[in-house]
Amino acid sequence: MTEILPADKAGVARAAAMLRRGALVAFGTETVYGLGGDATNAEAVAAIFHAKGRPHFNPLICHYPSSDSAFRHVVANERALRVADAFWPGPLTLVLPRRPDCPVALLTSAGLDTLAVRVPAQPVAMALLRETGRPVAAPSANRSGQVSPTSAQHVLDGLAGRIAAVLDSGPCKVGVESTVLDLSERDPVLLRPGGVTVEDLEACLGPIQRGTPHAAGQAGEGLRSPGMMVSHYAPDLPVRLNAATVADDEALLAFGPPLPGGRCQFQLSASGDTIEAAGRLFEGLRWLDANGARLGARGIAVMPVPDSGLGLAINDRLQRAAAPRGG
Ligand code: AMP
Ligand code: MG
């Protein structure tokens, strides 16, 4: 059962308590309804992908009640401070480097060194974020492949029974997604047009490049939409899938009862739970990459993960990690 919570003090308090214990709560912003989960809780973030039925992991936007709280988790450069001052709270998302001590789960960034952060302008959303006291990861609150919801009823149409609650703050004012601006490189790049116009951003920052395909083509992502043009995290060590045995000079990414051998191993889920495994996937690849190399491993062997539930998204990412890389 999905609870419908009113946008009053009690409703916000209940929604915040649910988020803090790892449950999923959809909430209205000025753009569209977001499907929120505690961004510091890897299993809650994995549950977001599960509820949406997404067949792949892409980085999620992390929502904060203020620019100060956002900039505690990412490194703000001079440009970021300027646009944040001009457009936050509002429909603008900034992609910036994660701080080394950033507590946000790696799955939220899909394993990347950057994090997309936003301070939404909707008063109920701001109250919820303040009360939760944690960054909230939230993609649009719809099933994968369906249109973004702009009312609580739209959210229920797609996700009733799949999430703990929806905080009903009425229809969304803007109705289109936030503008995504990448400020993590030397020049600003527009990754997705949205609620804040490029003209307004350029008046503040000077010329902005329109979404370049980064490593997207290379990763076989295709040119689906500008916002999807994100490079993918892949470990430096070569990755071997569907391993039935582990060689002495390999590191093991285990799923279920681990194979014997190898230089070191990382368990995705001892019980074979794909949601738990999804939450640990990027952590595991990074850990094996660093420790495997240190211990003299020459590759990462990956045990088979079933294609059911989030296994599909896990396998999609593992296949990309295992694909031959040019240059
Ligand atoms: P949605 O979750 O549907 O609002 O979409 C989030 C958008 O932000 C997607 O288009 C993502 O590709 C983009 N995005 C989020 N995080 C990053 C990141 N770290 N680097 C580049 N793009 C990102
Ligand atoms: Mg969406």
Virtual torsion, Cα 174, 176, 177, 179, nearest 10 deg:
-80
Ligand 1 centroid, distance to 9 Cα (angstroms): 31
pLDDT of residue 171: 94
The residue nearest atom 2 of ligand 1, judged by CA position, is: 139
Residue 217 in any domain: the answer is no
Strands 25-28 and 165-168 come out as: parallel
Say yes or no: 74 and 179 in one domain.
Answer: yes
Q: What is the CATH number of the domain that holds 269?
A: 3.40.50.11030
Ligand showing the shortest atom-to-Cα distance for residue 139: 1
| Rounded Cα distance, 154 and 299, in Å | 46
Ligand showing the shortest atom-to-Cα distance for residue 149: 2
Cβ–Cβ < 8 Å for 83, 92: yes
Q: Is 59 in the pocket of ligand 1 (CB under 6 A)?
A: yes
The domain tally of the chain equals: 2
Q: For residue 310, what are the domain limits?
A: 239-322
Q: What is the CATH number of the domain that holds 107?
A: 3.90.870.10
Ligand 1 atom index nearest CA of 112: 19
* Inter-CA distances, 190 with 6, 12, 71, Å: 36, 33, 20
Residue 72 in any domain: the answer is yes
Ligand 1 centroid, distance to 294 Cα (angstroms): 32
pLDDT of residue 210: 85
| Rounded Cα distance, 177 and 78, in Å | 25
pLDDT of residue 212: 57
Ligand showing the shortest atom-to-Cα distance for residue 59: 1
Say yes or no: 152 and 278 in one domain.
Answer: no
Residue of 30, 191, 228, 233 best suited for mutating to test ligand 1, as the one with most atoms within 8 Å of CB:
191
Amino acid residing at 125: A
Q: Is 29 in the pocket of ligand 1 (CB under 6 A)?
A: no
- Per-residue pLDDT tens listing for the chain (327 residues): 999 999 999 999 999 999 999 999 999 999 999 999 999 999 999 999 999 999 999 999 999 999 999 999 999 999 999 999 999 999 999 999 999 999 999 999 999 999 999 999 999 999 999 999 999 999 999 999 999 999 999 999 999 999 999 999 999 988 889 999 999 998 999 999 999 999 999 999 999 988 754 443 333 333 334 444 466 888 999 999 999 999 999 999 999 999 999 999 999 999 999 999 999 999 999 999 999 999 999 999 999 999 999 999 999 999 999 987 754
For 25-52, give one letter per residue: b (16+ CB within 10 A) or e.
bbbbbbbbbbbbbbbbbbbbbbbbbbbb
Say yes or no: 272 and 150 in one domain.
Answer: no
Say yes or no: 206 and 131 in one domain.
Answer: yes
Say yes or no: 65 and 106 in one domain.
Answer: yes
Residue of 140, 192, 212, 232 best suited for mutating to test ligand 1, as the one with most atoms within 8 Å of CB:
192
Say yes or no: 279 and 142 in one domain.
Answer: no
* pTM score of the predicted model: 0.90
Q: Is 116 in the pocket of ligand 1 (CB under 6 A)?
A: yes
**CA diameter of the chain:** 60
Say yes or no: 191 and 301 in one domain.
Answer: no
